[in-house]
Chain A
Amino acid sequence: MLDLAIFGQHLLNGVLIGCAYALIAIGLTMIFGVMNIANFAHGEFYMMGGFAAFYLVTLLKLNYFIALPLAVVLVVVLAVAIQQIVFKRLRDAPVMTTTLVTIGLSILLEHVALLLWGPQPQVIPNPFPTRPLSFFGIYTTPLYLFSMAVTAALIVVGHLLIQRTRMGKAMRATFQNREAAALVGVRIDRVYLYAFTFGAALAAAAGAVLGGFIPVEPTMGGVATLKAFVVVILGGMGSFVGAIAGGLLLGLAEALGAGYFSTGWKDAIGFFAVILLLLFRPEGLFKRA
C-alpha cells in the first residue's frame, strides 16, 4: 500500500519536472531546428524569467498572477534585443562560431545576473496555501498543481501555434528546407525572430512558474541548458513533439531512476543516452527512422 503511494509520488514528481524540462527544451529545439544553432545560452532565459518574476512580486509588489506574464514579457523584450544584436549575425555561421558565441553569452548573462542580483537563491512569494494536499497517500501542493497545469497548457498552446498559425507553418517549412521556404516567400528573418523569442518566452515562463518552489539563482541556467540538451537529443534535434516526449521521459526516468536505483548517477544516464543517440540515432527516440 505504502509502496504504491511512493511509486505514485515518484511518477507525479517525474511528470511535474518533466513538464518543466519540456517547456525549456521546446525553445532549444526550435532554435536548433529553425536557425541551426545549439544555443548554450538558452537556460539563461529560464533563470531570468525566475528573477524577473521574483522582483516584480517583491520589489514592485505586483500581484503574483500579473507578475508571471509580465516577467515573460520582460524576458521577451530582452530576447528580441539579444536576437537582433547577436543571433542575427549568426545566420549561416559555422558551428564553431555559433557555439562559442552562445557559450560566451551564457557566461555573460549568468555573471551579469550575479552582479545585479547576488548569489543568494530566491523563492518567489506566491498566494497559494503551503499546506500539502494528499490523494491516496500521494502528496502535492496547490502550487505544484498550478505549475503543472500552466506548463501543460503552455505546451499545448505552443503546439497549436506551431501547427495552426501561418507563422508556425513558416517555421516548420524553414526547418524542413530553408532555401525552398525562402523561395516561396517565407521571410526567414521573421521566422528566426519569432522562433527565438517564442522559445525564450517558454523558458522564461518555466522559470517564473517553478520559482515558487525551486529557488531562483544565477547559476541555474547552465544546469537547465544541459538538461534541455539531453531532452532535445532524446526527442530528436528540431522536433517539437520530440521535445515534449523527451522532457517527460527524462523527468520520469530521473524520478524513477533516482527513486529505485542510484541518485548519484542519475545524471550520468542521460549523458550516456545522449552519446549513444547522437552516434546511432540522431533523429531521436520517437521518430521512425
Chain B
Amino acid sequence: MPDSKPHPIILGAVLAGLLIIPLVVRDEYYLHLFIVSAIFVVVALGLNLIVGYVGQLSLAHAAFFALGAYVSALLFFNLKWSMWIGMPAAAIVTAAVAFALGWVILRVRGHRFVIITVAFAEIMRLVATNWVDLTRGFMGLPGLQIPALYVPGIGAVDVSSKERFYYVVLAAALLSFYICYRLVRSSVGRAFVLVRENEVLAESLGISAFRTCMIAFVVGAALAGTAGALYGHYIGFVSPDLFNFSYITIMLIMVILGGKGTLIGPALGAVVFTFLPELLREASYYRMVIFASILVIATLFMPRGIIFPLVEHLVPRRWRKGHDRAA
C-alpha cells in the first residue's frame, strides 16, 4: 500500500501541530495520553515492519517491548545507569534477542511461525515472573526516573515534566517514523513487499527472504525495545504485567486497524487506540467487547484497515505530491 510523499506545506503544518501540543493542551491528562500515544507509535511502527511489510504475524512483539522496559529498568535499578544509556542498551539487547530468535524461526512460516512466537512470549513472561533474584518477580522494579538531558551549550535540562517529556517521546516517534520511511522506500523496503507478496518470485530474483525478514524482525524489535525503555521510565514502574496478552492485542489492533503496510496508518492507529480506550472509560466493561468485535470485523471485511483509507479519503489528492509507486 503506497504512502504518498507529503507536500512540504502539509508536512510543515503537521510538524508544527505536533510541536505546539503541550502549549495548547493544558489538560495534563490529555498530555499524558499524548505521551503514551507517541511511545506506542514507536511500537506500532516496529510491529508494522513485520506484520505489515514482510507479512509475518509475530506475537512476540509485546515481549520485546517488555524486554526493553526490563533491560533499561534493571540497568537503572542495579547500576544506576540513566535512561539515556538504558534506552540504547534496551534497543541493542532486544535486537540481539530478536536476531537469535529470528535465526531459528524465520526459516518457518505460517502457523508454525505464529505459534513459536507465542511460545517465546510465554517463556519470556515466565522468566520475568520466576527469576525472582533478577527481576524481583511480581514485585516489579519501582522508582524509575526520567533523567536530565544534557544539551551541549546549555547543560543539564530537566525533562521530567509532562510538557518536556512530550518532546522527548515526540522526537523518538518522529525518528522512528523517519527510519521506517527511509527503510521502506529503499531497496530493502521493496524486498519486504516482494517477499510478502511472492516469496518464490523474490528468491528467484536473488532476494533472500530469510535476510529480508530478519531485517524487519530485528529493526522492529529494536523499536519495541526502545519504546519499552521510554515507557518504563515514564510510568516509573516495570512488572511482569507488561507481558500480558492484552498488550500484543492492542498493538495488533493499532497496526491492523491503522492500515498495515502503510506508515501513517499504524502511527495514527497508535494514537487513536491509545485515546479511545481512555475516552471509553465510562464504558469500561464494554470496551474490550467493542475492540474485539472491531478487530474481527476489520480483519474480515476491511483488510486495508480503517484509518489509512480514511486518511486517503479525507486528504485531497492534489495535496499529496505524486504517489510513491515503489512500495
Contacts and interface: CB of A to CB of B under 8 A. Distances in A.
Give yes or no for direct A-B contact (beta carbon below 8 Å).
yes
Interface residues of B, number: 39
Interface in B84-117: 104-105, 107-112, 114-116
A108 B292 CA distance: 5
Contacts of A264: 126, 129-130
A169 interface: no
A274 B115 contact: yes
A106 B9 CA distance: 45
A80 interface: no
B245 A267 contact: no
B114 A99 contact: yes
A104 B295 contact: yes
Nearest to A96: B57
Contact of B116 (A32, A108, A274): A274
Contacts of B108: 278-279, 282
Contact of A233 (B115, B295, B296): B115
Query: Which secondary structure dominates where chain B touches chain A?
Result: helix
B139 interface: no
Given A103-B252, A104-B292, A115-B286, 7 more contacts: A32-B111, A38-B111, A95-B57, A101-B299, A104-B293, A271-B119, A275-B116
Interface of B: 51, 55, 57, 104-105, 107-112, 114-116, 118-120, 122-123, 126-127, 129-130, 245, 249, 252, 256, 285-286, 288-289, 291-293, 295-296, 299-300, 303
A110 B245 CA distance: 13
B119 A103 contact: no
A122 to B, nearest CB: 19
B202 to A, nearest CB: 17
B305 to A, nearest CB: 12
Contacts of B252: 100, 103
Nearest to B137: A264
A105 interface: yes
A159 interface: no
A107 B115 contact: no
A273 to B, nearest CB: 9
A32 B112 CA distance: 12
B122 A226 contact: yes
A222 interface: yes
Interface residues of A, number: 38
A108 B253 CA distance: 13
A110 B104 CA distance: 33
A241 B304 CA distance: 40
A101 B130 contact: no
A210 B288 CA distance: 28
A105 B57 CA distance: 17
Contacts of B129: 264
Contact of B296 (A36, A104, A111, A279): A104
Contact of A111 (B109, B110, B119, B288): B288
B296 A267 contact: no
Contacts of B55: 96
Nearest to B56: A96
